Structure 1
Amino acid sequence: MTTKKSKSENSIVDIARVLGISPATVSRALNNNPRISEATRKRVKETAKEMGYRHNSMASSLRNRRSNIIGLIVPRISMYFHSFFITSLQRQLQAAGYNLMICQSNDSVDLEKELANTLYSARVDALVVSLTLYTKDITHFEGFLQQGIPLVFYDRVPVLGAPAYIIKGDDYRGGLLAGNHLMQAGCVHMAYISGPMSSSIYQERTRGFLDALAKQGMSMREDWVYHHELTVENAWNSLRRLFEGEQLPDGIFAANDTTAIAAVEFARERGIRIPDDLKIIGYSNDPRTAIVTPAITSIEQYPSEMADKVADTLIHALQAHPTVFHAIGEPLVCPVDLVRRMTT
Structure 2
Amino acid sequence: MNKDKKPQQNTILDIAEALKLSPATISRALNNHPHVKEKTKNDVLKMAAQLGYRRNQMASGLRSNKTHTVGLIVPRISMFFHAEVITTIQNSLHKHGYNLIICQSNDLLSMEEELADILYASRVDALIVACTLQTTDFSHFDKLVSSGIPVIFYDRVPLDAYPATFIKGDDFRGGYLATTHLIETGSQRIAHISGKLSSNLYQDRSAGFRKAMEQHQLPIHAEWVFHQELTHENAKEAMAKMFSGTVVPDALFSANDVTAIAALEFAKENGIQVPRDLKIIGYSNDPRTSITTPALSTIEQYPAKVGQKIVEVLIEQLKSGEKGSGLEQRPYVIPVDLIRRMSS
Whether these two folds match at TM > 0.5 is yes
Aligned 1:76-225 pairs, distance under 5 A: 76-225=76-225
Question: Which position in structure 1 is the counterpart of 2:343?
Answer: 343
Counterpart amino acid of residue 84 in structure 1 = E
| 1:337 CA displacement | 1.2
Residues 8 and 53, structure 1, Cα contact 8 Å, conserved in 2: no
Deviates more, 1:232-241 or 1:250-259: 232-241
Q: What is the CA distance between 1:174 and its match in structure 2?
A: 0.9
Whole-angstrom CA distance in 1 between matches of 2:279 and 2:285 = 16
Structure 2 match to 1:12: 12
Q: How many angstroms does 1:194 deviate by?
A: 0.7
Aligned equivalents of 2:8 and 2:198: distance in 1? 49
What do residues 86-124 of structure 1 show as CA deviations (whole Å, max 9, x unaligned)?
111222211122121111111100100111111111111
Shift of 1:6: 4.6
* Corresponding residue number in structure 1 for 2:247: 247
Q: 1:72 to 1:328 in 2, by over 3 A?
A: farther
For normalisation by structure 2, the TM-score amounts to 0.93
Whether the 8 Å contact between 1:166 and 1:328 is mirrored in structure 2 is no
Matched-pair contact (CA < 8 Å) for 2:89–2:307: yes
Whether the aligned pair in 1 keeps the contact of 2:190 and 2:249 (CA below 8 Å) is yes
Please give the alpha-carbon distance, in whole angstroms, between the structure 2 residues aligned to 1:339 and 1:327: 35
Matching residue's letter, 1:53: Y
Deviates more, 1:237-246 or 1:74-83: 237-246
Distance 2:105 2:249 in 1: 35
- Counterpart of 1:263 in structure 2 is 263
Are residues 63 and 298 of structure 1, via their aligned partners in 2, closer, same or farther at CA, if it must alter by over 3 Å? same
Measure the CA separation in 2 of the matches of 1:337 and 1:42.
Answer: 50
Going from structure 1 to structure 2, the CA distance change for 1:44 and 1:321 (only over 3 Å counts) comes to closer
Pairing of 1:20-99 with structure 2 (within 5 A): 20-99=20-99
Q: Report the CA distance between 1:15 and its aligned residue.
A: 2.6
Amino acid at match of 1:185: T
**AA matched with 2:149:** I
1:103 is paired with a residue whose SS is: strand
2:62 is aligned with what amino acid? L
Compute the displacement of 1:191 (Å): 1.1
Q: For 1:96 and 1:49, locate their aligned partners in 2 and report how far apart those are by CA, in whole Å.
A: 24
Equivalent AA in structure 2 for residue 108 of structure 1: L
CA deviation string 1:163-209 (max 9, x = no partner): 11111111111111122111111112111111111111001111110
Alignment of 1:316 with 2:316, yes or no, is yes
Distance in 2 (alpha carbons) for counterparts of 1:241 and 1:31: 64
With 14-23 and 164-173 compared, the bigger mean Cα shift is at 14-23
Q: In structure 2, what is the Cα distance between the partners aligned to 1:231 and 1:87?
A: 25
Is 1:226 aligned to residue 219 of structure 2? Answer: no
Contact preservation (8 Å) 1:8, 1:52: no
Runs (4+) off by over 4 Å: none
Distance in 2 separating the partners of 1:22 and 1:13: 8
- Would the aligned equivalents of 2:163 and 2:327 in 1 still touch at CA under 8 Å? no
Residues 242-265 of structure 1 show CA distances to partners (whole Å, capped at 9, x for unaligned) of 222222111011100111111111
Return the alpha-carbon distance in structure 2 between the equivalents of residues 295 and 313 of structure 1: 36
Q: Supply the AA of the counterpart residue of 1:151.
A: V
Does the residue aligned with 2:191 lie in a helix, a strand or coil? strand
The amino acid across from 1:76 in the alignment is R
SS at 2:28 equivalent: helix
2:230–2:258 CA contact under 8 A, matched in 1: yes
RMSD, aligned α-carbons: 1.9
- Give 2:343's aligned amino acid: T
- What residue identity is the alignment partner of 2:40? T
SS in 1 for 2:208: helix
Unpaired segments ≥5 residues, structure 2: none
Q: How many residues align?
A: 338
Structure 2 residue identity aligned to 1:217: Q
Identity of aligned residues (%): 51
Q: Which residue of 2 aligns with 1:302?
A: 302
Would you say the 8 A contact 2:73–2:130 is kept in 1?
A: yes
Cα deviation, 1:218-238, whole Å, max 9, x if unaligned, reads 222222111122111211121
- Bigger shift: 134-143 or 214-223? 214-223
CA deviation after TM superposition for structure 1 residue 327, in Å: 5.0
Q: Distance in 1 between matches of 2:20 and 2:53?
A: 17
- How far did residue 8 of structure 1 move? 4.3
